[in-house]
Amino acid sequence: MAAKFGAKSTTEEVLAGVDLKGKRILVTGVSAGLGVETARALVAHGADVVGAARDLKKAQRATSEVGKTALKNGVSFELVELDLASLKSVRAAADKLAADGRLFDVIIANAGVMATPFGKTEDGFETQFGTNHLGHFVFVNRIAKLIKDGGRLVNLSSAGHRFSNVNLSDPNFSTTPYDPRGAYGRSKTANILFAVEFDRRHRDRGVRATAVHPGGIMTELARHMPDGAMEAWVKQIQEQLAAAGESPFEFKSIPQGAATSIWAAVVASAGDVGGRYCEDCQVAELISADSQVSSISRGVRGYALDPDNAKALWKRSEELVGEAFA
């Protein structure tokens, strides 16, 4: 790679000198935060972008400037309705795109929820696992044939994957006591494992998949956390880092947070990021199984990249949604 980027790199810095004219990219979750910035940066550099969102009116308001930038640059910006907590909506959105038939160079699965109170999706899945993983699992697989040969899938995961491995015997917390943070960890580990297995299944035609951690960013994602919970969590993190002799944690700006997604999607070498987990615009190092790290430290847990774990999650996901994918 021509340039070395890091935690403070922004979308504009990673895209400096990059011309995306002729590229068509799908981004989910374009009604706020990282999704909006991702779409903005892509159209600013010449890409045609399709944004997916649950609330189209909210997305239209949030992306009004994105639309203006697209018009100015002579590229397209379209919106499609997608509620990841409803497989009916997921399938309808995928069918609409399939019927349209136009191909994508990249899919960025950006949408998600975090630390929600216990609840279930329209189809009876635990909210975070159902929305963050199963919704994207069905949506992406249904439009996988629309990804051009040599294209990419980028799944937004999180350092929160270190909270928990997936639990394939009790994915909906039917017998396990519910913990918002643990449930989030399960879903974010699933995002990585989905990328690992998708990459294995599609690499023969040059399609590569990766998962990324955007960093800690103050966005709407934390809206479900109780008052004071975020502050208490950050305090705990700072104490852990201080005890380990590490530098204090710093929140990223939204342009810094969206940089890793874009870097992995259109800047990094496909061979470098395929089947991997990335953070701070770099491929993350594997954390040893006995390593004691905070949820905010760098690195990826082995269970999140384990190919057998990825295959097992894929099979269980197919069982849960009642649909098999080649």
In order, the DSSP letters of 180-243 are HHHHHHHHHHHHHHHHHHHHHHHGGGT-EEEEEE---B-SGGGGGSPTTHHHHHHHHHHHHHHH
Containing H/E element for 52?
A: strand 48-53
Q: Counting every residue, how long is the chain?
A: 326
* Contact between residue 189 and residue 159 where contact means Cβ atoms under 8 Å apart: no
Determine whether domain 11-225+253-321 maps to CATH 3.40.50.720: yes
- What average pLDDT values come out for the chain (326 residues) when binned by 10 residues? 80 98 98 97 98 98 98 98 98 98 98 95 98 98 98 96 96 96 97 98 98 82 58 62 66 94 98 98 87 64 97 98 96
State the pLDDT at residue 1.
42
State the pLDDT at residue 216.
82
Per-domain residue ranges of the chain = 11-225+253-321
Amino acid at 76: S
Widest CA span in the chain: 56
pTM: 0.91
Token pair belonging to 127 = 């909210």
State the pLDDT at residue 262.
98
Q: Among all residues, which ones are annotated catalytic?
A: 157, 184, 188
Cα torsion 5, 76, 49, 78 to 10°: value is 150
* Contact between residue 313 and residue 190 where contact means Cβ atoms under 8 Å apart: yes
State the pLDDT at residue 326.
86
Angle at 108 between CA 103 and CA 113, to 5 degrees: 135
Q: Is the dihedral of CA 267, 13, 294, 183 positive or negative?
A: negative
